[in-house]
Structure 1
Amino acid sequence: MKYVNAEKMLPEKLLRSIQEYTQGSYLYIPIREEDKKQWGECTESKQILRERNESIVQAYRSGSSVKTLALHYYLTEHSIRRIIRGQR
């Protein structure tokens, strides 16, 4: 997140109005609800994790142990079990 000086961005009247509530502090302005994106929507992260999880399940069904999969994918055994349960 990048900070922007409000004097450079907001109209003077709006800035003065905001200063009635707070001044000299950082103010976070959240994104509008209708503009929010779901996690992974802007990157390929969601697809990469889906493919990884499918590989984990396939390897498990082919006989790989939970312990072996955990070591191979650098995850805990608990995480591997959770992924396997989620794909049933």
Structure 2
Amino acid sequence: MKYLNAAEVLPKDLLIEIQKHIKGEVLYIPSDDGRIRWGEKNGSRNYFENRNEEIKRLYKNGFSLEEISCKYRLAYDTVRKILYKKQLKGL
């Protein structure tokens, strides 16, 4: 990774905007070239999405949070978060 002086590579108006948030620090700007989201390569994302959907189905079918917590060996609060989490678009 090569360090660049932002004043040499960024337009002045963009540099001024960035300086409003951070001054005199090293800032890492990640590349967005073909990035793979967390868990997509090894299947973890799919596993947890499926598990969470199953947890939601069980709850809708009358299972209690305690029963689901025991079945999946998850903390009560973790199950609650899964059930009440709003779906975020674009993830």
Supply the distance in 2 between the matched residues of 1:87 and 1:40 (Cα, whole angstroms). Answer: 20
Pair member with larger Rg? 1
* Identity %, equivalent residues: 26
1:65-84 equivalence runs, <5 A = 65-84=64-83
Corresponding residue pairs, total? 57
The alpha carbon displacement at 1:37 in A equals: 2.6
Partner of 1:50 in structure 2? 49
Where structure 2 has 5 or more consecutive residues not aligned to the other structure, the ranges are: 1-29
TM-superposed CA distance for 1:35, in Å, is 5.7
Bigger fraction of residues in helix: 1
Structure 1 residue ranges (4+ consecutive) displaced by more than 3 angstroms after TM superposition: none
1:62 aligned residue: 61
Unaligned runs of 5+ in 1: 1-31
RMSD: 1.9
Question: Highest relative contact order (Cα 8 Å, sep 6+), 1 or 2?
Answer: 1
TM-score (norm 2): 0.55
